Homo-oligomer: A and B are copies of this chain.
Amino acid sequence: MAASSEISSLDSVIANSLTGKALQEYNRIHYGRTDHHELSVKKSNQKNAQENGFEISAYDFPARKEETRNPRVVKVGIIQNSIATSTDKPINEQRQAIFDKIRKIIEAAGEEGVNIICLQEAWSMPFAFCTREKQPWCEFAETVDNGPSTQFLKDLAIKYGMVIISPILERDEVHGDTIWNTAVVINEAGKVIGKHRKNHIPRVGDFNESTYYFEGNTGHPVFETKFGKIAINICYGRHHPLNWLMFGVNGAEIVFNPSATVAGLSEHLWAVEARNAAIANSYFTCAINRVGTESFPNEFTSGDGKPAHKDFGHFYGSSYVTAPDGARTPGLSRIKDGLLIAKIDLNLCRQIKDKWGFTMTQRLDLYAESLNKAIKHDFEPQVIRKK
Contacts and interface: CB of A to CB of B under 8 A. Distances in A.
Contacts of A358: 239-240
A297 interface: no
Given A32-B268, A193-B384, A368-B368, 17 more contacts: A13-B26, A28-B268, A32-B269, A191-B386, A203-B361, A222-B384, A224-B386, A242-B242, A242-B245, A242-B362, A249-B370, A249-B374, A249-B381, A250-B382, A272-B276, A273-B279, A372-B372
Interface string A192-215: 011000011111100000000001
Interface in A363-387: 363-368, 370-372, 374-375, 381-387
B383 A240 contact: no
Interface in A320-360: 326-327, 355-358, 360
A16 B156 CA distance: 49
A276 B273 CA distance: 6
A244 B276 CA distance: 13
B204 A357 contact: yes
- 8 interchain residue pairs of minimum CB distance: A241-B241, A32-B268, A276-B276, A368-B371, A250-B381, A194-B384, A242-B367, A224-B385
A356 B364 CA distance: 27
Contacts of A236: 361
A18 B28 contact: no
Tally of this chain's copies: 2
Given A202-B361, A371-B371, A267 B381 contact: no
A268 B385 contact: no
A268 B26 CA distance: 10
Range class of the A interface residue count: 35 or more
A22 B11 CA distance: 11
A7 B25 contact: yes
Nearest to A372: B368
A280 to B, nearest CB: 5
A40 B199 CA distance: 45
Nearest to A218: B382
Contacts of A356: 204, 239
24 contacts: A7-B22, A13-B18, A28-B267, A28-B268, A29-B267, A32-B268, A203-B360, A220-B370, A222-B381, A222-B383, A239-B356, A240-B358, A240-B363, A241-B242, A242-B242, A242-B363, A242-B364, A250-B381, A251-B381, A268-B326, A269-B279, A273-B276, A368-B371, A372-B372
Among A187, A191, A224, A361, residue most surrounded by chain B Cβ atoms (within 10 Å): A361
A154 interface: no
A268 B200 contact: no
Contacts of A385: 193, 224
A221 B280 contact: no
Interface string A230-242: 0000001001111
Contacts of A365: 375
A85 B371 CA distance: 45
Given A249-B381, A272-B279, A361-B236, A386 B10 contact: no
Among A22, A191, A280, A360, residue most surrounded by chain B Cβ atoms (within 10 Å): A280
A157 B326 CA distance: 39
A375 B371 contact: no
A95 interface: no
A30 interface: yes
A63 interface: no
B250 A241 contact: no
